[in-house]
Amino acid sequence: MEPEKILNISVDCVVFGYDINTKSLNVLLINRFLESEDKKEVLVNDYVLTGYHVYKNETLDDTATRVLKELTGLTNQYKKQFKAFGDPDRLMNPKDIIWIKNEAFHLRTTTIAYYFLLKTEDVNLKNNKNKAKWFPVNNLPEVGFDHEQIILEAYEDLKVKCLSKPIIFKLLPDKFTINDVQDLYESILGIEIDNRNFRRKLINKKYIIALDEKQVGVSKKPAQLYMFSKDIYDKMFQKNYLISI
């Protein structure tokens, strides 16, 4: 039996997945589809974030973890609660109202929004019951509820955080090349970075460790592989205190 739900509080998850092959930062969305009773008319056909009500005896973090697991099967991914959305009319577009009539939740639901960082390749979307699909964060489809705003605010938070915290490595495989990291920064921030300066900067970090390995299976000169050492990073006193207003 399903645990008892808190009907007016939900958790919505912005699942960011980086596709290292297409160099695209994607968001995982599920299809919201409803036909009229006679099946002649499509009433709702758009995409939304995954989310679910909070159970009465679980923490908000637990809810987020559970939602991600049900969608992707994954656990232990980087997770961040970034904002609560609770406007009284946040689910009040005509399509939302039609949709909610069919579902069992409050029109005035407050949602605690999380985002996750993972690798697109880690998610298997075959036999996925939610019709989940990846969309480039810069090229979203029609998005229902207020979820486009939620995605954009998550993305903003990610853009700012990736400049000062090593969360970028959550989006990359354990072994990566310097150019992988640069491509990812360029993709997230929408900027171009000088390869020589970037390379020097990264290689000089003690927590970026050159492995005894090179890429395999590439058709050109294989690149040196590196890893990120969280241990070393944590041990280095993160002297953040440069006032830079």
Is residue 195 involved in binding DNA (CB under 7 A)? Answer: yes
Structure-token match 């241990």, residue found: 231
Task: Please identify, using beta-carbon distances, which residue of 116 and 185 lies nearer to its own copies.
Answer: 185
Of residues 58-117, those binding its own copies (CB under 8 A): 58-60, 81, 83-84, 86-88, 108, 110, 112
**Residue 194 interacts with, from DNA, its own copies, none (CB under 5-8 Å by kind):** DNA
**Residue 220 interacts with, from DNA, its own copies, none (CB under 5-8 Å by kind):** DNA
**Residue 179 interacts with, from its own copies, DNA, none (CB under 5-8 Å by kind):** DNA
Is residue 9 involved in binding its own copies (CB under 8 A)? Answer: yes
Contact pick of 168, 171, 184, 225 for its own copies (by CB under 8 A): 168
Task: Please identify, using beta-carbon distances, which residue of 69 and 214 lies nearer to DNA.
Answer: 214
**Residue 245 interacts with, from its own copies, DNA, none (CB under 5-8 Å by kind):** its own copies
Q: Single out the residue of 169, 173, 170, 50 nearest to residue 114, CA to CA.
A: 50
CA distance 115 to 25: 13
Is residue 125 involved in binding its own copies (CB under 8 A)? Answer: no
The least distance separating its own copies from the CB of residue 203, rounded to whole angstroms, comes to 13
Among the candidate windows 37-45, 124-132, 163-171, 197-205, which touches DNA by CB under 7 A? 197-205
155 three-class SS: helix
Task: Please identify, using beta-carbon distances, which residue of 99 and 228 lies nearer to DNA.
Answer: 228
- DSSP designation for 8: E
Among the candidate windows 4-12, 37-45, 95-103, 219-227, which touches DNA by CB under 7 A? 219-227
